[in-house]
Amino acid sequence: MDKRLVCLIYPDVYSWEKEGFEPLLNAMTVQSDLHYEAVTRGHFGYFKAPIRAEKYWIICRDWKRAVRYLKVRKAEAPVYISVLGTDSRPSLLGLMLQNFLNSMPSNVHLVAHSPINYRFFREIAGLEKSRITLAPLAVPPGVPRNSSNREGVTVGTLVSLTHRCNLHYFLSVAHYVANRNPDVHFKIFGTGALDLHFGRVIQALGLGKRVRIEASASLTSLSQLDVFLFTSLQNEHFISVLGAASYGLPVLCSDVPGAADLITDGHTGFLTAVNDTKPMAELLLRLVASGEMRVAFGQKLREDLQKKYSCAALVTQYEKLFFGEHLDSPTMLRAASE
């Protein structure tokens, strides 16, 4: 047996999602004898070969595709799969729950990184508690920016431009704010199949000079912002929110499951009802109007999340997940609400 723990990163993982995992992976490489690599064509049928490690960890969006491609059923060791996306959900919802359970190899343990994914597999797919864990991710590295010399305020987000990014809501907030404050500009970092569609929506709303889509797929892009706006329904891991916190940005966030674990409403940012334009826009105008509030919220958010989700703290927890006994609690650091 060559290694203790091998991590395989499937190619459907977005580059900025991989960035969100890398601090934890690098720390575990040093402390936990982890080896990680990107899945390529050469990995097809990977688990048909003789056993290479004591445990395996696959990071992917569509776990069913990864299981088929890598031939996970052939694995002679336990396999943990971090499910970042919902690519398998449409097909799963059309199946009987028993079909779902039969499709999941007995040697697989799923790892969810947000309550919404955890609840999907538990409540809709009917997965047993013993076969899934809710695990947080670490705050990535980032240096708080000094925006005191900048003119105006830049508000932005980082998403994959798909049907679930909920960017129409982001643009409705931008439209409301742009009509009331001429000094606010918006940046959307991301790529995806709907980039041209959203470009047309921006022009139709008369926001061509106020909103830009930049084809960036890196968390480092967030350093250009003064405020981070999270309106996405793609809340499978909150990597973008953790990235914003690493740069000391205040976060204005839709109150989706798991958001309140990161944002303390009125202290490190604001939480608002999903798709309620006016309340979110009015709170954004408050943040825009007060540089002191932005700095205070951003600093406090960074401090809070670095305490709760530092690599040092999480490496120990992931060690327990992979090599310790599974606890009755479905989560590593806190109990999930079901």
Q: Whole-angstrom Cα distance, residue 211 to residue 224?
A: 14
Q: Hey, what amino acid is at 311?
A: C
**Would you say the C-alpha torsion 163, 173, 199, 12 has a positive or negative sign?**
negative
Residue 334 lies in a domain: no
Bridge partners of residue 132, in order along the sequence: 110
CATH number of domain containing 82 = 3.40.50.2000
Run of H or E including 100: helix 97-103
Structural contact between residues 190 and 213, judged by C-beta atoms closer than 8 angstroms: yes
Q: Are residues 216 and 233 in the same domain?
A: yes
Instruction: State the total domains in the chain.
Output: 2
Q: What is the DSSP code (8-state) at residue 265?
A: B
Angle at 226 between CA 220 and CA 232, to 5 degrees: 70
Q: Whole-angstrom Cα distance, residue 45 to residue 229?
A: 41
Q: Are residues 304 and 180 in the same domain?
A: yes
Q: Are residues 283 and 316 in the same domain?
A: no
User: Is residue 58 helix, strand or coil?
Assistant: strand
Buried b / exposed e along 101-121 (16+ C-beta atoms within 10 A): eebbeebbbbbbbbbbbbbbb
Q: Which residue has the tokens 């670490």?
A: 138
Residue 335 lies in a domain: no
User: Is residue 146 helix, strand or coil?
Assistant: coil
Q: Are residues 166 and 77 in the same domain?
A: no
Q: Are residues 232 and 298 in the same domain?
A: yes
Q: Whole-angstrom Cα distance, residue 214 to residue 212?
A: 6
Q: Are residues 254 and 289 in the same domain?
A: yes
Q: For position 223, what pLDDT does the model report?
A: 94
Structural contact between residues 10 and 81, judged by C-beta atoms closer than 8 angstroms: no
Q: Are residues 133 and 161 in the same domain?
A: no
Q: Whole-angstrom Cα distance, residue 241 to residue 259?
A: 9
Residue 333 lies in a domain: no
Q: Are residues 129 and 183 in the same domain?
A: no
Q: Hey, what amino acid is at 30?
A: V
Structural contact between residues 284 and 229, judged by C-beta atoms closer than 8 angstroms: yes
Residue 281 lies in a domain: yes
Separate counts of helices (H) and strands (E) for the chain: 11, 12
Buried b / exposed e along 206-234 (16+ C-beta atoms within 10 A): ebeebbbbeebbebbbbbbbbbbbbbbbb
Q: Which residue has the tokens 């028993």?
A: 98
Q: Are residues 172 and 286 in the same domain?
A: yes
Q: Which of 184, 258, 246, 252 is nearest to 221 (CA)?
A: 246
User: Is residue 6 helix, strand or coil?
Assistant: strand
Residue 144 lies in a domain: no
Phi, psi of 145 (to 5 degrees): -90, 155
Q: For position 333, what pLDDT does the model report?
A: 44
Q: For position 148, what pLDDT does the model report?
A: 53
Residue 121 lies in a domain: yes
User: Is residue 332 helix, strand or coil?
Assistant: coil
Q: Are residues 35 and 176 in the same domain?
A: no
Q: Are residues 40 and 119 in the same domain?
A: yes
User: CA dist 6 to 60, 85, 113, 169, 209, Å?
Assistant: 14, 21, 19, 40, 48
pLDDT tens over the chain, length 338 residues = 578 999 999 999 999 999 999 999 999 999 889 999 999 999 999 999 887 899 999 999 988 899 999 999 999 899 999 988 765 444 444 444 445 555 788 899 999 999 988 988 888 888 889 999 999 999 988 888 765 556 789 999 999 898 878 999 999 999 999 999 999 999 999 998 899 999 999 999 999 999 999 998 799 999 999 999 999 876 778 999 999 999 999 999 999 989 999 999 999 999 999 999 999 999 999 999 999 999 999 999 999 999 999 998 899 999 999 998 544 334 444 433 33
Give the range of the structural domain holding residue 86, as residue numbers without chain letter: 3-138+310-323
How far is C-alpha 193 from the chain's CA centre? 19
